[in-house]
């Protein structure tokens, strides 16, 4: 299996990447429009009935083994786990002199944190009451920090692995 950060050489940009720029911008524009629509629905409380029905459907299948599995998966997105994994990834790249990959990790994760915090402050959507009791977290619920930051971190790892596997 190829190793990431195997040498301190500079990243090589494939010659086909400039051709992918218009498609990437188009995809980003579509994603932005979808997020804008979803944001409008959330702010207008247009998702409340949908949220409740999905929540009730999911909880119909609640069972200790299923709950344990989903708590484990959820914990993979907790900030201490993501922070520790990010620091480990940075240490891995820096120990190999691979500043390019370390910078990509740093910019991606800092950007994800800033974006999440900024959007939460912009939307001010309170969290729903916990289904199984307990205290309601004091942070805002939209957008989901678990989803956004986990997507950035695990997507970054998948992208780096994919890129390096294609290089081999």
Angle between helices 99-123 and 17-43 (to 10 degrees): 20
Write the pLDDT tens digit of every residue in 5-54.
455 556 666 677 777 788 888 888 888 888 888 878 777 777 777 777 88
Write the pLDDT tens digit of every residue in 81-135.
999 999 999 999 999 998 989 999 999 999 998 888 888 887 767 666 666 666 6
The length of the chain, given as a count of residues: 168
| Predicted model pTM | 0.67
Q: Where are the domains of the chain?
A: 77-168
| 138 has a pLDDT exceeding 50 | yes
Q: Residues 84-91: contacts with CB within 8 Å, 24+ apart?
A: 85/153, 86/153, 89/157
């Amino acid at each position: 299996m190829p190793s990431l950060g195997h040498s301190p050489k500079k990243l090589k940009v494939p010659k086909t990447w400039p051709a992918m720029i218009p498609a990437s911008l188009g995809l980003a524009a579509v994603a932005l429009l979808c997020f804008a629509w979803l944001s409008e629905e959330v702010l207008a409380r247009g998702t409340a009935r949908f949220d409740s029905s999905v929540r009730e459907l999911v909880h119909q299948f609640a069972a200790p083994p299923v709950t344990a599995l989903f708590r484990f998966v959820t914990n993979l997105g907790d900030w201490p786990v993501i922070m520790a994994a990010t620091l480990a990834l940075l240490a891995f790249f820096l120990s190999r002199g691979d500043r390019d990959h370390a910078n990509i990790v740093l910019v991606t994760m800092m950007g994800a944190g800033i974006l999440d915090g900024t959007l939460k402050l912009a939307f001010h959507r309170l969290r729903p009451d916990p289904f199984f009791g307990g205290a309601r977290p004091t942070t805002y619920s939209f957008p989901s920090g678990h989803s956004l930051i986990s997507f950035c971190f695990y997507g970054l790892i998948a992208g780096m692995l994919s890129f390096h596997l294609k290089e081999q």
